[in-house]
Amino acid sequence: MNDTLLNIVLILIFVLIGGVFAAAEMALVSLRESQLKSLSHRGKRGETVARVAANPNRFLSAVQIGVTLMGFLSAAFGGATLADSLKPHLQNLGLPASVAGTVALVLITICISYVSIVIGELAAKRLALQRAETFALGLAPLVDKLASGARPVIWLLSKSTDLVVRALGGDPNANREVMSDEELRDLVSAHESLGEEERKIVDDVFEAGSRQLREVMLPRTEVDFVDGEMPAYKAVKFAAERPHSRYPVMNGSADDIVGFVHVRDLFDPAVASRSVRVGDLAREVLMLPDTAKLLPTLTEMRRRSTHIAIVLDEYGGTAGIVTLEDLVEELIGDIKDEYDEEAAETTRFISGDIEVDGLLNLDDFADATTIELPDGPYETVGGFLAARLGKVPSIGDEVSFDSHTLTVKEMDGRRVARVRLHRVRPAEGEQPPAETPAPAAD
């Protein structure tokens, strides 16, 4: 009986050692690149973890050797020792001696396999998955030593694996796939420690990463330009009537920008006491193409410590301006101060109609109405209407699309100022109205 207990203890030891290798494998495989980079700066053990994880072929071969060897020892040792102890009991139950030995071996193997799967695989890997860094720091040195000691065997296994992977169309030198933006978004959404606001900010950052300046700029028709030949004292009156702190300075035309002027320069007593043109006070301004991405632009403006940039179209003309505040608002939402003009609000009617600003860009329109306008050579609701109508819109013009109608309600010169969205509810049996086709080009 004592020998049987000792044999059971030895089998459990083999199973536990196999579980150690299984846990090491799961811990090292589940570590993210950011975790590995952080661990590499946490002493020798952290450096070992980073070094071992950098060569997955090596450490996977090492842990597989350990798991396979321990599994073989537990099954072989158990079958050779415990089966003989179980055989007499089976004979007492009426089994013939010729059958009892085989049945005993099968039962012992099944029991050892069950214990190995539960303790040596599932439990070990689940614990390692929950505390990957802790297990990796503790077990990486063991895996590293085993890999060094079994180098010839690992070399043979690695080369054999490379051949099989290559034969199956894989790349033996490839590492794990890079996490996609969507996967990263899902990971953030599922993170329990992040609140609703934090998740929204992260989501806005992802959306901002693909947005261009043409989508967030203030168009030139809405920009207050100052002529460089204007006397400073007149510019003071001009600025006093407006809420901005910086104004683009032009040389006769909005397409010829020479810089920008800050209101502090205009109100400087030294300037007011002498005859100075605005052009003499102009500071250098950053020029950017309208295809520039939002996040790199934000980084560049912060690096240059500038708060305003001129956005150029593909022909080199001025498309509009963008400010540092505009870019930050794209990430964290509107920043209101006491000098901000009230933006045109989205108005909702009892009938279900929605009225919006014609300058609303497509993304903001979708946020306000839950309706996405089709993409095209335009960035705003007003641009969509002009493209579909094939002319400068007028009050009362309508465009139908996807069971909805957009109606021009107000114009500001040649710009669409207000647009009303109406959902068309077709009568029973009727088809919804088709989209208004754009007129054919001559």
CA atoms within 13 A on the CB side of 84: 8
DSSP secondary structure string for all residues of 39-90: HTTSHHHHHHHHHHHT-HHHHHHHHHHHHHHHHHHHHHHHHHHHHHHHHHHH
Both structure tokens of 412: 């500001």
Measured CA to CA, the distance from residue 66 to residue 62 in angstroms comes to: 6
Q: Output the average pLDDT for the chain.
A: 83
Per-residue pLDDT tens over the stretch 128-162: 989 988 898 888 888 888 888 888 888 888 888 88
Per-residue pLDDT tens over the stretch 384-406: 999 999 888 999 999 988 888 99
Task: Look up residue 347 and give its amino acid.
Answer: T
85-94, 382-391, 414-423, 425-434: lowest mean pLDDT where? 425-434
pLDDT band at 367 (very low <50, low <70, confident <90, very high): confident
Per-residue pLDDT tens over the stretch 302-331: 999 999 999 999 889 999 999 998 888 887
Bridge-based pairing state of the strands 286-289 and 415-423 = unpaired
pTM: 0.54
Per-residue pLDDT tens over the stretch 33-80: 878 888 888 888 888 888 888 888 788 888 888 888 898 888 888 888
Distances in Å between the alpha carbon of 147 and those of 59, 66, 68, 206, 380?
A: 7, 10, 14, 41, 61
Q: What is the mean pLDDT of residues 244-266?
A: 92
Bridge-based pairing state of the strands 318-323 and 218-219 = antiparallel
Helix H or strand E segment including 259: strand 257-262
CA atoms within 13 A on the CB side of 88: 4
Question: Phi and psi for 111 in degrees, rounded to 5?
Answer: -65, -45
Enumerate residues 6+ apart whose C-beta is below 8 A from 285: 248, 257, 259, 260, 306, 308, 309, 310
Comparing C-alpha atoms, which of 61, 59, 66, 65 is closest to residue 14? Answer: 66
More confident position, 219 or 364: 219
Distances in Å between the alpha carbon of 274 and those of 227, 260, 277, 279?
A: 18, 20, 10, 14
- Per-residue pLDDT, 290: 92
Per-residue pLDDT tens over the stretch 323-353: 998 888 887 776 666 555 555 578 888 888 8
